[in-house]
Each structure stands twice: as C-alpha cells, then as structure tokens.
Amino acid sequence: MDNLISQCDFKMRKTLDSFIKEVSKIRGGSISKSLFDEIRVDCYGSQVPLNQVCNVNMNDNSTIVITPYDKTITDDIVKAIQKSDLGFNPSSDKDIIMINVPLITQERRNELVRFLNKETESFRVSIRNIRKEFNDAIKKLQKNKAIATDEEKSGLKKIQEQTDSHIKLINAESMKKEKEIINI
C-alpha cells in the first residue's frame, strides 16, 4: 500500500514538473534565456542544445543577441530557431544573430491566457488519471483480499489528498503565469 502511494506521489510530481516546464515556455513579460533551453541545433552530425553552441544575451526587452562560438554553424542556429515553435524570425550576419521581439498586444495576451488555461486543464486531467490508476490498483488489492477495507479507505483518502495538493500547485503556477502575461 505504501509503495503504491509513493509511486502515485512520484508520478504526480513528475506531471507537476512537466507542467512548470511547459508553462515557462509561454512568453509572459520580458524574454528569458530559458525560452531557448529546448532548442536543438543540427550540427556536427548530431542534435546539440543551443546553449552549448552559442551565447544568448538580452540587450533590452525587445532584442536578443545570439553569438555562435563557431561562425560556420550560424545558419544551422537560425534554422533551429525558426523550426522551434517560439515564433521568432532571426536575422543574421556572419558573426551574430539578432532577434527583434515585438511587444505583445492585448489580443495576443488573451490568446496566451486561453492557451495557458487549456494547458492547465490538460495537466489537471493528467493528475486525475493518475489518481484513477492508483485508486483502481488499491481497489483491486482489496478485491483480491490483499488488504482490508479500512486500508483501502485509508489509501484512497491519501491518494485524494495527493491529487488535491498537486492540482492546487498546478492552479497556483497557472495563476502566477497568468498574472505575468496580463501585467506585461
């Protein structure tokens, strides 16, 4: 029983971590270097993380300057940024890559909030699915007489507490990000 409950908590924590990672990609106020963490550049015969082949700097809230360590892969870096779903259109010369980031309009903010709400609900459903999976496992143990009815009720209660806690954390992260998007 304790093993099931700890496995459930582990899966829910991983789901929460995934949510936080996904939400961090949504551009709120100023640009963050973390937006580029997931971009992989096709160079040297493999997929290399962007931050290992260049230096990313923010000049101000609307300009990103990327300086490749190896000037021969500048075009590969530009292609990788264009392929990413960030919506940036970089321009380059031989030495640097510049990205001018337009200010976010109110309409775009509303779209971002709708997208955030959709992602939030999707991750809440994932947490609930994990709850269902482990509730079913506990009920099966009780049906097979491996645990008593009291243990089943206790286990189901603990799983529900974990579910409520993780959904509350997802909601808190979502609200924090929504405020960031709206208060640009």
Question: What is the distance between the alpha carbons of residues 104 and 26, in angstroms, rounded to a whole number?
Answer: 12
Q: What is the pLDDT of residues 10-61, one digit of tens each?
A: 999 999 999 998 888 777 656 667 777 788 888 888 888 888 888 888 876 6
Model confidence at 78: pLDDT above 70: yes
Q: What is the pLDDT of residues 83-130, one digit of tens each?
A: 887 777 888 877 888 888 777 788 888 888 999 999 999 999 999 999
**Torsion angle, alpha carbons of 34, 73, 85, 129, to 10:** -60
Q: What is the pTM of this model?
A: 0.71
Structure tokens at 3: 């093993």
Strands 91-92 and 40-43: unpaired
Question: What is the distance between the alpha carbons of residues 26 and 184, in angstroms, rounded to a whole number?
Answer: 13
Which residue segments constitute the domains of the chain, with CATH numbers given? 2-25+105-182 (1.10.132.20), 33-100 (3.30.1360.40)
Extended strands (E) in the chain: 40-43, 46-49, 54-60, 63-68, 91-92, 97-100
